[in-house]
Structure 1
Amino acid sequence: MHVDRWIPHMTARRQMRPTDVKRLNRTWRRNTEQRLGLIVESVTGPFNVGSIFRTAAAFGVEHVWLAGNATPPTNPKAQKTALGTDRLVTWSEPLPAADAVQAAKDEGLAVIAVELTGDALPLHESPLAGDVCLVVGGEDHGCSPALLEAADGVCYIPQVGRVGSFNVAVAAAIALAEARRQGWTAP
């Protein structure tokens, strides 16, 4: 972004008060029609699970399906990063991957895995503006072959640095943010 795109301001900037933040969030909620779901497959790190739930609550995810051997958000260590936000998101106990995908599809959501595969689309080119359920896989192995087979599509997060992957909680946040951005900017 070029500096000349910024509009100069005449008053001192200040952070919003909690009441202003609530009002702003309420406005975004009213202007959001897109439904979001999330499948968390075999993410075992409790701090990752807590971060994912906090992000899911912030982006208004309707339901989180745990799959494989995912750690539940009730884990005490997950609670430390979730900060109670897991109570704001409906979630299901771990299911087999294909069952979690089918449950999301039964709710009318297209299931898109975030994974590096040969047919994956770049995240920003993936059709995420509709009702969608994103999928993130375990820290070490990503999404299972069964889940990838059951998903409607696959996308990846382009990276230009010298690191080959993101932390799973960060990847979930990036993907959810892009899905919301597409939903908000869709005609």
Structure 2
Amino acid sequence: MAGGGKGSGRPAKKKSPTKGTGGNVRRGLEGKGATPPAHMRHWHKDKARGERIEREERTGRPSSPRTQVRARRSEDAPEYIGGRNPVLEALRAGVPASALYVALRIDNDDRVKEAVRIAADRGIAMLEVGREKLDRLTEGAIHQGVALQIPAYEYAHPEDLVRIAQDAAETPLIVALDGVTDPRNLGAIARSATAFGAHGLLVPSRRSAGVTGGAWKTSAGTLATLSVARAVNLTATLREYREAGLFVVGLDGESTVEIGDANLLDGPLVVVVGSEGKGLSRLVRESCDLVVRIPMNAAAESLNAGVAAGIALYEVARHRRR
């Protein structure tokens, strides 16, 4: 008979440990208690998912690497300006900043020295970090060893813009942006709005420029005193303004009415500026009480949104002085 055992003349083989016991007998497992529920097992997907959700809620950022690749920067998250000239220009313009990041062992030229001095004078926190961190903060953009953190802008409610005018006992003047996606145009319009006495800007919450670092720089600091409100639905907000007694006048090159001939400019007013090239969207155009154009040489097809807003606001100011 093949194999070991009784009468084989060879010692019997040791029995292998029972599969699944880890080599332990049953009494070795006594006292360990019941298997913990799924949410308490560190290896269980439900617990891992719960920890991930808790971490995302705490940090405000997705923790999954795949999600991080697909996720867009939140509009309410801080922004970072990188580069020695852009950072210095932003600090000179009074752009609100919460921290200045400077690379370790940086070559301190005059721009870096002035940026550090301005930051120190304004009480802005200064942090020395590695270039890898600067790469992450600026999302791979050229930073030249310096970056400026700009806190998220706190937008007003559309009703606040009317209230600002009422509190000042002035006739409301609001500038709304339709399809303006370049933050530099928003900043330029903010400068004109401040110069001609507007009480605020209204921007859509989607597919529109917001108050970013680029807008702050172009505004030359005027965004620090001019309120910007965000509308979930621009046409609905314009309709609410009309119901509140404001006239809505849109700028569009295809109109047959010149802005100088408009008879609504001295009343409570919303001036709507469309995007360069496309002009006003159909729904916004239909929401206007009047659509006007800026007369110009036929050789120029359209005006930059910032330039058009400045001309329109000057015309409004001229009518109001009369």
If the TM-score is normalised by the length of the shorter chain, which range does it land in? 0.7 to 0.9
Q: Distance in 2 between matches of 1:166 and 1:140?
A: 8
TM-superposed CA distance for 1:54, in Å, is 1.2
With normalisation by structure 1, the TM-score equals 0.74
Instruction: Name the amino acid aligned to 2:195.
Output: A
Total equivalences in the alignment: 152
With normalisation by structure 2, the TM-score equals 0.45
Alpha-carbon distance change, 41 to 105 in structure 1, aligned in 2, over 3 angstroms = same
For residues 133-172 of structure 1, what are the alpha-carbon distances to aligned partners after superposition, in whole Å with 9 as ceiling and x for unaligned?
1100122311100000011110000012511111110000
Choose the corresponding residue for 1:71, options 201, 204, 209: 209
* Partner residue in 1 for 2:278: 141
TM-superposed CA distance for 1:124, in Å, is 0.5
- Does the Cα contact within 8 Å between 1:59 and 1:176 map onto a contact in 2? yes
Instruction: Name the amino acid aligned to 1:71.
Output: A
Gaps of 5+ in 1: 1-31
Q: Does 1:154 align with 2:287?
A: no
Q: Distance in 2 between matches of 1:97 and 1:143?
A: 12
Give every structure 1 segment of 4 or more consecutive aligned residues whose post-TM-superposition deviation is greater than 6 Å.
none
Choose the corresponding residue for 1:43, options 177, 180, 200: 180
TM-superposed CA distance for 1:88, in Å, is 1.7
TM-superposed CA distance for 1:84, in Å, is 2.1
Q: Does 1:182 align with 2:306?
A: no
* Partner residue in 2 for 1:55: 192
Q: Distance in 1 between matches of 2:189 and 2:310?
A: 7
- Does the Cα contact within 8 Å between 2:249 and 2:288 map onto a contact in 1? yes
Q: Distance in 2 between matches of 1:90 and 1:103?
A: 19
* Partner residue in 2 for 1:21: none
Instruction: Name the amino acid aligned to 1:137.
Output: G
TM-superposed CA distance for 1:33, in Å, is 4.7
RMSD: 1.8
TM-superposed CA distance for 1:94, in Å, is 4.0
Instruction: Name the amino acid aligned to 2:262.
Output: S
* Partner residue in 2 for 1:126: 262
- Does the Cα contact within 8 Å between 1:65 and 1:100 map onto a contact in 2? no
Q: Distance in 2 between matches of 1:69 and 1:100?
A: 16
Q: Does 1:91 align with 2:231?
A: no
Q: Distance in 1 between matches of 2:194 and 2:278?
A: 25
Gaps of 5+ in 2: 1-168
Q: Which has the higher contact order (CA 8 A, sep 6+)?
A: 1
- Does the Cα contact within 8 Å between 2:259 and 2:312 map onto a contact in 1? yes
> Which stretch of the first structure deviates more once superposed, 32-41 or 144-153?
32-41
For residues 27-74 of structure 1, what are the alpha-carbon distances to aligned partners after superposition, in whole Å with 9 as ceiling and x for unaligned?
xxxxx954311111121111111001111111111121112522112x
Aligned to 2:239, the other structure's residue is in SS state helix
* Partner residue in 1 for 2:239: 102
Instruction: Name the amino acid aligned to 1:160.
Output: N
Q: Distance in 1 between matches of 2:309 and 2:183?
A: 15
